[in-house]
Amino acid sequence: KTAMQIVEIMKVMEARHPVVMATRVSAEKSAEIQAALPQATYFEMARICAIQPSVPLAIRPGKLSILTAGTADLPVAEEAAVTAELCGFQVTRLRDVGVAGIHRLLSNRHVIDQSDVLIVAAGMEGALPSVVAGLADCPVVAVSTSVGYGASFNGLAPLLTMLNSCATGIG
């Protein structure tokens, strides 16, 4: 969509809902959108342009945590985190806790134990969601990212790993 198409859509949606989001927005498009809609906020890493209510939404119950295997997975994880926060959820972020440095994950076991839902983003081989699901007693949403080198095949390899996981509670 063009920036002006996004602006028109956001105007219509703003009249109907207190939160409006446009995802996968480049910095260039966000500048055009914000020129037309000064109330819009741009979340650069998440690539989300959003209109938020002047009064924050009520905080929704439940603890949502978002984990990334590596720093290259951050944009995808931030898209999920910002989306959840705009919808009223409190989000805990654990970054760079992949299996290559599993001690970082294990030192944050309390976050996993206290979460009601875990979103786990991983590229490369995609092993982190299975490891987390093996430690967690709550639903784990596995998100494949298209980062990595070698045989990651633009995210296909981690996706297949996640689909083949034998850990319970993973989706």
Following DSSP, what letter does each residue of 19-43 receive, concatenated?
Answer: -EEEES--HHHHHHHHHH-TTEEEE
Q: What is the pLDDT of residue 149?
A: 67
Maximum CA extent, the chain? 49
Q: What is the pLDDT of residue 23?
A: 96
Quickly state the pLDDT bin for 28 (edges 50, 70, 90): very high
CATH 3.40.50.1970 fits 64-164, yes or no: yes
Query: pLDDT tens, 53-97?
Result: 888 788 999 999 999 988 888 999 999 999 999 999 999 999 999
Quickly state the pLDDT bin for 3 (edges 50, 70, 90): very high
Q: What is the pLDDT of residue 103?
A: 93
Quickly state the pLDDT bin for 118 (edges 50, 70, 90): very high
Lowest-confidence segment of 61-65, 69-73, 150-154, 159-163 by average pLDDT: 150-154
The 10 Å Cβ neighbour count of residue 15 is 8
**Average pLDDT of span 43-57:** 92
Name the residue ranges covered by the structural domains of the chain: 3-51, 64-164
Quick one: what percent of the chain has pLDDT higher than 70?
98
Q: What is the pLDDT of residue 83?
A: 96
Confirm if 38 and 113 have CB atoms less than 8 A apart: no
**Average pLDDT of span 11-22:** 94
Residue 171: which residues within 8 A CB-CB, separation 6 or more? Answer: 139, 140, 141, 142
- Concatenate the DSSP letters of all residues of 72-87 into one string: GGHHHHHHHHHHHHHT
Confirm if 80 and 66 have CB atoms less than 8 A apart: yes
Tell me how far apart the alpha carbons of residues 6 and 35 are, in angstroms, rounded to a whole number.
12
Q: What is the pLDDT of residue 166?
A: 75
Tell me how far apart the alpha carbons of residues 119 and 138 are, in angstroms, rounded to a whole number.
11
pTM: 0.88
